[in-house]
Amino acid sequence: MSHREPSLELVPSGGRRRLLRAETPALLVERVAAALGHEASPGRLTAEGGLLACLACGHPELYTQRDFPRPVGITIVVLAAVLAPFTSYVSLFVAALLDAALYHLAPAVVVCYACHARHRGLQPSPRHPAFDREIEERLLYGKRAVMGKPMRPGGTADAPEPEH
């Protein structure tokens, strides 16, 4: 995934998505700061260009998911279902394999729990685990959260994968 150009996709609620790119992670930090009108915060990256906190809002909790476009997956499934009667349902099997293969080949995208900004092309270490409902719940509902769990020191960097 490090061969991809570092980029940040801003996902403002109700606003338009915006993609910022740069040649290196350090340049991306500067570009984001200029775009958002705040001071550059180099502390959000490790020396190697790994992500310690969201480049957009500075929140230290992020999750990693596969960057697999959902419309592609849905198209494959629909196509397989349409073809199923003509292929003795072999198309469904092929679609499942194709889906799994594409999913595993898809590069990672690291998403901020707080502002949903999507980071691509940064170093894979520190690693942020997969999505954790308990973290999202705490951020949404605070003390009223049913399943919320407290933030780890340092956020999600190199945190263990959620058990559920």
Q: Which residues bind Zn ion (CB under 5 A)?
A: 54, 56-57, 59, 112, 114-115, 117
Nearer to Zn ion, 29 or 56 (CB): 56
Supply the minimum distance, in Å, between the C-beta of residue 44 and Zn ion.
10
* Helices (H), ranges, the chain: 25-36, 70-83, 90-105, 133-141
C-alpha of 130 from chain center? 9
As measured in angstroms, the least distance from the Cβ of 23 to Zn ion is 22
Smallest separation, CB 51 to Zn ion (Å): 11
Decide whether 20 or 112 has the Cβ nearer to Zn ion. 112
CA pseudo-torsion sign 133, 54, 119, 16 = positive
Q: What burial letters (b/e) apply to 130-149, b meaning 16+ CB within 10 Å?
A: eebebbbbbeeeeeeeeebe
Among residues 53 and 95, whose Cβ is nearest to Zn ion?
53
CB nearer Zn ion, residue 32 or residue 54: 54
Contacts 24+ apart (CB under 8 A), 157-160: 157/50, 157/51, 157/52, 157/60, 157/126, 157/127, 157/128, 158/125, 158/126, 158/127, 159/128, 159/129, 160/129
How far apart are CB 149 and Zn ion at their closest, in Å? 19
At its nearest, how many Å lie between Zn ion and the CB of residue 59?
5
Which tokens is 142 given? 């605070």
* Cβ nearer to Zn ion, comparing 102 with 114: 114
